[in-house]
Chain A
């Protein structure tokens, strides 16, 4: 008996949480964003009562999160709150132990084929770029399309050039990552992910390792991407970015989602004390 109730409880919680999320999404849509950021009714990611442990440490606790196609979600929170772990679970760089994650209609299990299938549709940018230093910028961008998607080389290069132009560094195509600045490297990393034509983009603190002068150029690319209708989940502390493009802000602490809301509401009228404290620390 006890088991049964335990099982149903999270789904209820999930249902409860889903409703305001949708409302929040509708709210931003309602304000009539001119840039054509459209949120569809199609589910992109559905996380249900997901839990994760590192050994004995309970890093993620009862995470329920539904993301619709075209949503731009900013996840913030103090360090160690599990926000990076959460988005790394979405493309299985980290394994969750309980609950379910469904990405683009595919549930994440130990099935390697399905994991690869999801990773093909989900792009990711890392704090430290993780470009391949032994390959040129062009080779970095064409590697996955050629070897994973079996795109012909010439076509892959054409696509890569298109995205390098979009991130405004086509002239660096033949250089090695080590010859570029941090901001340029992160833009290459974004282009590299886009070359796989992903449906969802994950950003794991993309500007945290950058010099102050280079943050803007990366954020501009991310704003441009958001305006093109990409589904995005960004772990970031760039609150200006959150205000500008996010339709939902999620605040996490101690492995849990504490609060989520539309950005205007989130910043002007935080509900939880923990959120208020956090915002007072980072917004001066």
Chain B
């Protein structure tokens, strides 16, 4: 009988104005109620979680701050055995920061001569002075900045660090160490792997069979070999293959290995980005008469790289941390120099290694977290596609 019912005509005469959402769903209390205590089960999980956080944080704070030894001239300040120690019997021993303080110079510079450390610092200052304006988007003269940073700076840094010219005393690369060496290997790897990775990613998607084959072989070779093998090969086997009298620097060898290794990963990350760009973008660019390199450089790569920023930074961070592996082939990078310092009997104490590793972790974390935050910032900045 529905068909007999008369249709009531309806016309809206007044538009409904926009209103603020109800208070219980917004603000701090709303957030806490919605996310932490929405029901009994989640409330229990929240309480248990908070307790676990308390356990970890409390013992860490106790070790690193409350029981920590801040000053001292040798290991006895950080131990209480045989009454030779300065810590009263029965009292807990925390982090031995005095030891890190005493070895700080070594951790930072390795065996770089103390008289010449200003050169390392100057290299850092120059690098930061060029990197900071380059990293801030609103600063002008990006092209000149890039030329200085990627073209001139590496040469200046090389001269400053190794010396031997311009009246600077020669410092053998075997004397480089600590954070300096970690940064040299890490940054060179990062700077080299991005452009090389782009080239191999484009090569793997190329229509030219030989270019594609070479790219595939390169990528699959380096991806299929563990980094530690690459490092051993470069330090032990490579010299055997070189003709007599020809030597490649002890640091340059693993440096190339690390750079090529991460290039392969970078190429695959970037290839993922290239594949996500719709065909229409290529067609739009081609229809305007753009050549292959202009199409790639102006249209495809800017979008593809933006898409894979998380993957790129992932590779950067992985590469930076993987540099710690060079300590296995006898280089004294940050990890290597810290382990070397354990041999100093003068500073022996129960918490010596725990303190040093905690310090190591913090240093690595600061650099990696910095890269991570910068990538988040870049992602938000470049997010133009779907912003309304």
**Which chain A residues have a beta carbon within 8 Å of chain B's beta carbons?**
91, 93, 112, 116, 119-120, 122-124, 126, 128-134, 143-144, 147-148, 176, 178-179, 192-193, 196
A130 to B298, CA, bound (A): 14
Chain A residue numbers with a CB within 8 Å of B287 are 91, 93, 119, 122-124, 126, 130, 193
Verify if B385 is at the interface (C-beta below 8 Å from A). Answer: yes
Chain A residue numbers with a CB within 8 Å of B288 are 119, 143-144, 148, 192-193, 196
Q: Which of B281, B284, B294 is in CB contact (< 8 Å) with A148? A: B294
A116 to B382, CA, bound (A): 30
Q: Are B289 and A144 in contact (CB under 8 A)?
A: yes
Interface of B, secondary structure class, is: helix
Verify if B388 is at the interface (C-beta below 8 Å from A). Answer: yes
Residue of B nearest to A88 (CB): B283
Chain A residue numbers with a CB within 8 Å of B286 are 91, 93, 119
Verify if B318 is at the interface (C-beta below 8 Å from A). Answer: no
A130 to B277, CA, bound (A): 11
Chain A residue numbers with a CB within 8 Å of B291 are 112, 116
Count, A-B residue pairs, CB within 8 A: 70
Q: Which of B289, B303, B382, B388 is in CB contact (< 8 Å) with A196? A: B289
Residue of B nearest to A121 (CB): B289
Q: Are A132 and B283 in contact (CB under 8 A)?
A: no
Chain A residue numbers with a CB within 8 Å of B289 are 116, 119-120, 144, 148, 196
A188 to B331, CA, bound (A): 58
Q: Are A133 and B303 in contact (CB under 8 A)?
A: yes
Residue of A nearest to B287 (CB): A124
Which of B284, B289, B306, B385 has the most chain A CB within a 10 Å cutoff?
Answer: B289
Chain A residue numbers with a CB within 8 Å of B285 are 132
Q: A143-B298, A196-B289 are in contact. Are A130 and B388 (CB under 8 A)?
A: no
Q: Which of A126, A134, A179 is in CB contact (< 8 Å) with B284? A: A126
A93 to B302, CA, bound (A): 22
Query: Which residues of B211-225 have CB atoms within 8 Å of chain A's CB atoms?
Result: none
CB pairs A–B below 8 angstroms (16 shown): A91-B287, A93-B286, A126-B280, A128-B280, A130-B283, A132-B285, A133-B303, A134-B303, A134-B306, A134-B382, A143-B288, A144-B289, A147-B290, A148-B290, A176-B384, A196-B288
How far is the CB of B128 from the nearest CB of chain A, in Å? Answer: 29
Besides A134-B382, A134-B384, 17 new A-B residue pairs in contact (Cβ under 8 A), listed by A number: A93-B286, A119-B286, A126-B283, A126-B284, A126-B287, A129-B280, A130-B283, A133-B384, A133-B385, A134-B302, A134-B303, A143-B288, A147-B290, A147-B294, A176-B384, A178-B388, A196-B288
A123 to B287, CA, bound (A): 7
A129 to B302, CA, bound (A): 19
A130 to B290, CA, bound (A): 14
Q: Are A147 and B298 in contact (CB under 8 A)?
A: yes
Which of B287, B385, B387, B388 has the most chain A CB within a 10 Å cutoff?
Answer: B287
Verify if B299 is at the interface (C-beta below 8 Å from A). Answer: yes
Q: Are A178 and B283 in contact (CB under 8 A)?
A: no
Residue-wise, chain B 141-170 has the 8 Å CB interface mask toward A (1 for contact) of 000000000000000000000000000000
A213 to B306, CA, bound (A): 34
Chain A residue numbers with a CB within 8 Å of B281 are 130, 132
Chain B residue numbers with a CB within 8 Å of A178 are 384-388
Q: Are A176 and B385 in contact (CB under 8 A)?
A: yes
A179 to B382, CA, bound (A): 14
A25 to B286, CA, bound (A): 31
Residue of B nearest to A123 (CB): B287
Q: Are B290 and A134 in contact (CB under 8 A)?
A: no
Residue of B nearest to A119 (CB): B289
A122 to B288, CA, bound (A): 8
Q: Which of B280, B303, B387 is in CB contact (< 8 Å) with A176? A: B387
How far is the CB of B305 from the nearest CB of chain A, in Å? Answer: 10
Q: Are B290 and A144 in contact (CB under 8 A)?
A: yes
Chain B residue numbers with a CB within 8 Å of A133 are 303, 384-385
Chain B residue numbers with a CB within 8 Å of A130 are 280-281, 283-284, 287
A93 to B279, CA, bound (A): 11
Closest 3 pairs between A and B when the two form their complex, measured CB to CB: A130-B284, A144-B288, A119-B289
Q: Are A132 and B299 in contact (CB under 8 A)?
A: yes
Residue of A nearest to B385 (CB): A133
Chain B residue numbers with a CB within 8 Å of A196 are 288-289
A112 to B284, CA, bound (A): 17
Chain A residue numbers with a CB within 8 Å of B387 are 176, 178-179
